Amino acid sequence: MIRLLVLYHQPKDPEAFDRYYESIHIPLAKKMEGLRHWTIGKVTEVLGDTESQFYFVADLYADSREQIDEILASPEGQAAVADVPNYATGGVVFLYTEVETVI
């Protein structure tokens, strides 16, 4: 399985990020078909005494990299990707990882 991990840096306006993500980006991204699983989460704590450079994460799962590429190349996927700069004012990192379940 492949995961596309999306790491959002601290936005300029966290409340605006939250409002936009919830009311506009999620409904837009939900139109993408073919994902096996999708999770989101706000960073709540960083171990140690440093502040996190990340504010929010999203995990998109598919059976293969080719499948994720197809999903993102679809009109719905392109719309979701094009929407990211509208709310990710702190920047964003996209990481592809191979996922292996341990437990």
The pTM assigned to this predicted structure is: 0.91
Dump pLDDT digits (tens) for 73-85. Answer: 999 999 999 999 9
Kindly indicate the confidence band of residue 47, based on its pLDDT and cuts at 50, 70 and 90. Answer: confident
Q: What are phi and psi of 28, to 5 degrees?
A: -65, -50
Q: What is the dihedral of CA 99, 85, 56, 101, to 10 degrees?
A: -10
Separation between Cα atoms, residue 94 and residue 19, nearest integer Å: 22
Dump pLDDT digits (tens) for 49-69. Answer: 677 789 999 999 999 999 999
Is residue 5 within 8 A of residue 97, CB to CB? The reply is yes
**pLDDT for the residue numbered 46:** 79
**pLDDT for the residue numbered 12:** 96
Q: 2-98 has which fold?
A: Alpha-Beta Plaits (3.30.70)
| For the chain, domain boundaries | 2-98
